[in-house]
């Protein structure tokens, strides 16, 4: 674009076209060829997802024999990406059938079924907690709570596929503040070994073990299901997911491309990609042009995060220097005295947006937990947008975009969520909970392009002070 007039024209595009609009400053990452795994990062609104979409279409168009996987963390987001692929490449072009858009869990389940003839039976959270409690009672590991054991299993043993005492004795346990000596690890392994045996006896898998089994199957095969994989929301990949995606694609140029933002990590603990054979150093780029979120919204939301974030491999994402290309109304933070007052304020915000030309389908309303959903729905109903606006949990906001967003019920016990704090196994996990809860609010706020309101009941979330 030559000037701001052209940007204003782009902002007036129909919403479905704006959702795939590629700013010229991002085009280099779409067209560049890489001789190994590559990653693009950047603050919210810098177009990482759009780069991923355009790159998937470009690779499919360049090689008619190559099947492309565009993968992300959830099924709803995969559906959203699939609709955008169709906007970019009409189905008559023959490109759409060669691009599989899916969440990575579903891809793993389908490949597991192709190999074994059955879908994996995944152990639910309650069943897993019961197995750990039973194993702990049998092993008599006094001094370690069931809460700690479940956390250690989830974040260390299962996440890294630890299959024996020797491996457990050497795993670094990144992010864990409670040090464990050799004798302690030996005692704990007696619990985790029982859990592994119990899962096997019942024919149950964890999500991570499905990824590892499919990865082991395809690592030795020359016929890979995809010629290239492009991953959106890559900051929320875990170790098992990363190994799985690497194993199901050939190791040639342009085979693996990741798009993500460390500041939007809300699920996984940080870990070393390089230790798992994925080295993106020298093939990473940070986008600095924010053209999907107004200067006012981005400036406020940036108060939630540090100016620079570093991953365990030393790759640093600098948020300083990011430039927003357009202005909008100042975002509003309102801490109210009652639910009724909050509902009234949010409804007025929505009504004003509608009167200024924002369509109900271009509105998002988000809350932290299901218990607060009624407040969001009441505001939507009062404004008359409940049948078309998106009303959802903050976790489901990732990757989406709206012209107007209301983040509702940011109360003292909701952000950070009190139940998560109570479940923290040690100080390291508590720190990570605070960090991911803060980043979750950042994600929700930056779904707004033009208008944003954030509300809560007195005294409000401690994070609102940073806004």
Task: Give long-range contacts, CB 8 A cutoff, 24+ apart: 185-190.
Answer: 187/139, 187/141, 187/144, 188/141, 188/144, 188/149, 188/152, 189/164, 189/165, 190/139, 190/141
**Is the pLDDT score of 92 beyond 60?**
no
Q: Is residue 317 part of a domain?
A: no
pLDDT tens-digit series, residues 7-63 = 667 777 776 777 777 877 788 889 999 999 999 998 888 889 999 999 999 999 888
**Is the pLDDT score of 2 beyond 60?**
no
| Domain co-membership, 188 together with 154 | yes
**Is the pLDDT score of 232 beyond 80?**
yes
Q: What are phi and psi of 262, to 5 degrees?
A: -60, -25
| Domain co-membership, 335 together with 445 | yes
| Domain count along the chain | 3
The DSSP code sequence of 396-436 is GGTT--EEEEEE----TTTTTTHHHHHT--SHHHHHHHHHH
Q: What is the CATH number of the domain that holds 52?
A: 3.40.50.300
What is the gyration radius of the CA atoms in the chain, in angstroms? 23
**Is the pLDDT score of 347 beyond 90?**
yes
| Domain co-membership, 80 together with 129 | no
Q: Is residue 5 part of a domain?
A: no
The last residue of one of the domains, among 181, 204, 227, is 204
- Taking Cα atoms as reference points, which of 123, 181, 203, 187 lies closest to residue 149? 187
The last residue of one of the domains, among 204, 229, 246, is 204
| Domain co-membership, 279 together with 426 | no
| Domain co-membership, 132 together with 234 | no
Q: Is residue 283 part of a domain?
A: yes
Of the pLDDT bands very low, low, confident and very high (cuts 50, 70, 90), residue 4 is: low
| Domain co-membership, 395 together with 449 | yes
Q: Which domain holds residue 349?
A: 329-466
| Domain co-membership, 72 together with 216 | yes
pLDDT tens-digit series, residues 388-442 = 999 999 998 888 899 999 999 999 999 998 988 887 777 777 888 889 999 999 9
| Domain co-membership, 69 together with 134 | no
Q: What is the pLDDT of residue 191?
A: 94
| Domain co-membership, 162 together with 257 | no
CB-neighbour burial class of residue 339 (10 A; exposed 0-12, middle 13-18, buried 19+): middle
| Domain co-membership, 267 together with 180 | no
Q: Is residue 36 part of a domain?
A: yes
Q: What is the pLDDT of residue 114?
A: 94
pLDDT tens-digit series, residues 292-335 = 899 999 999 999 998 888 888 887 788 888 888 889 999 999 99
Of the pLDDT bands very low, low, confident and very high (cuts 50, 70, 90), residue 371 is: very high
pTM: 0.86
pLDDT tens-digit series, residues 170-200 = 888 766 667 788 898 999 999 999 999 999 9
- Identify which has the larger pLDDT, 25 or 245: 245
Q: How many C-beta neighbours within 10 Å does residue 330 have?
A: 13
| Domain co-membership, 136 together with 231 | no
Of the pLDDT bands very low, low, confident and very high (cuts 50, 70, 90), residue 143 is: confident
The DSSP code sequence of 313-331 is TS-EEE-TT-EE----PPP
**Is the pLDDT score of 123 beyond 70?**
yes
Q: Is residue 375 part of a domain?
A: yes
| Domain co-membership, 101 together with 143 | no
The last residue of one of the domains, among 204, 237, 271, is 204
Q: Is residue 64 part of a domain?
A: yes
Q: Is residue 117 part of a domain?
A: no
The DSSP code sequence of 267-305 is SSPP--SGGGT---TTSEEEE-EE-SS-HHHHHHHGGGS
Q: Is residue 4 part of a domain?
A: no
Q: Average per-residue pLDDT in the chain?
A: 90
Whether the CB-CB separation of 212 and 240 falls below 8 Å is answered with yes
Q: What is the distance between the alpha carbons of residues 408 and 418, in angstroms, rounded to a whole number?
A: 17
């Amino acid at each position: 674009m030559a000037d701001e007039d052209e940007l204003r024209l782009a902002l007036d595009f129909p919403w479905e076209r704006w959702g795939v609009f590629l700013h010229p400053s991002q085009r280099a990452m779409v067209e560049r060829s890489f001789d190994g795994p590559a990653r693009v990062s950047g603050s919210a609104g810098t177009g990482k997802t759009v780069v991923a979409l355009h790159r998937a279409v470009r690779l499919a168009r360049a090689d008619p024999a190559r099947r492309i996987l565009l993968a992300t963390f959830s099924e709803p987001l995969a559906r959203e990406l699939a609709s955008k692929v169709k906007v970019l490449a009409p189905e008559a072009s023959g490109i759409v059938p060669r691009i599989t858009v899916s969440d990575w869990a579903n891809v793993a389940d389908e490949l597991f079924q192709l190999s074994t003839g059955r879908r994996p039976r995944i152990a639910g959270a309650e069943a897993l907690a019961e197995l750990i409690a039973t194993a702990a009672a049998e092993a008599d590991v006094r001094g370690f709570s069931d809460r700690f054991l479940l956390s250690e299993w989830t974040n260390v043993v299962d996440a890294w596929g630890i299959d024996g005492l020797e491996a457990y004795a050497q795993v670094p346990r990144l992010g864990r503040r409670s040090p464990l000596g050799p004798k302690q690890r030996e005692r704990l392994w007696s619990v985790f070994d029982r859990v592994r045996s119990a899962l096997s006896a019942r024919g149950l898998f964890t999500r991570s073990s499905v990824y590892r089994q499919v990865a082991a199957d395809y690592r030795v095969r020359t016929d890979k299901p995809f010629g290239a994989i492009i991953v959106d929301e890559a900051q929320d990949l875990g170790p098992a997911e990363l190994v799985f995606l690497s194993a199901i694609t050939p190791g040639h140029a342009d085979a693996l491309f990741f798009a993500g933002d460390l500041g939007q990590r809300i699920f996984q603990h940080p870990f070393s990609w390089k230790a798992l054979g994925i080295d993106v150093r020298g093939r990473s780029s940070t986008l600095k042009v924010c053209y999907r979120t107004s200067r006012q919204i981005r400036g406020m939301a940036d108060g939630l995060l540090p100016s620079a974030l570093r991953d365990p491999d030393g790759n640093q994402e600098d948020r300083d220097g990011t430039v927003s290309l357009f202005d909008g109304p100042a975002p509003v933070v309102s801490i109210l005295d009652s639910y009724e007052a909050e509902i009234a304020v949010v409804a007025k915000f929505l009504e004003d947006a509608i009167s200024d030309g924002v369509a109900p389908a271009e509105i998002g309303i988000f809350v932290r937990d299901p218990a607060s959903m009624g407040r969001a729905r009441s505001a939507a109903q009062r404004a008359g947008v409940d049948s078309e606006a998106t009303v959802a949990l903050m976790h489901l906001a990732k990757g989406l975009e709206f012209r107007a967003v209301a983040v509702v019920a940011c109360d003292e016990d909701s952000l950070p969520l009190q139940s998560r704090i109570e479940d923290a196994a040690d100080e390291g996990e508590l720190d990570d909970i605070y960090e991911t809860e803060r980043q979750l609010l950042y994600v929700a706020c930056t779904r707004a392009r033009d208008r944003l309101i954030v509300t809560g009941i007195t005294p409000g979330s401690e994070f609102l002070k940073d806004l």
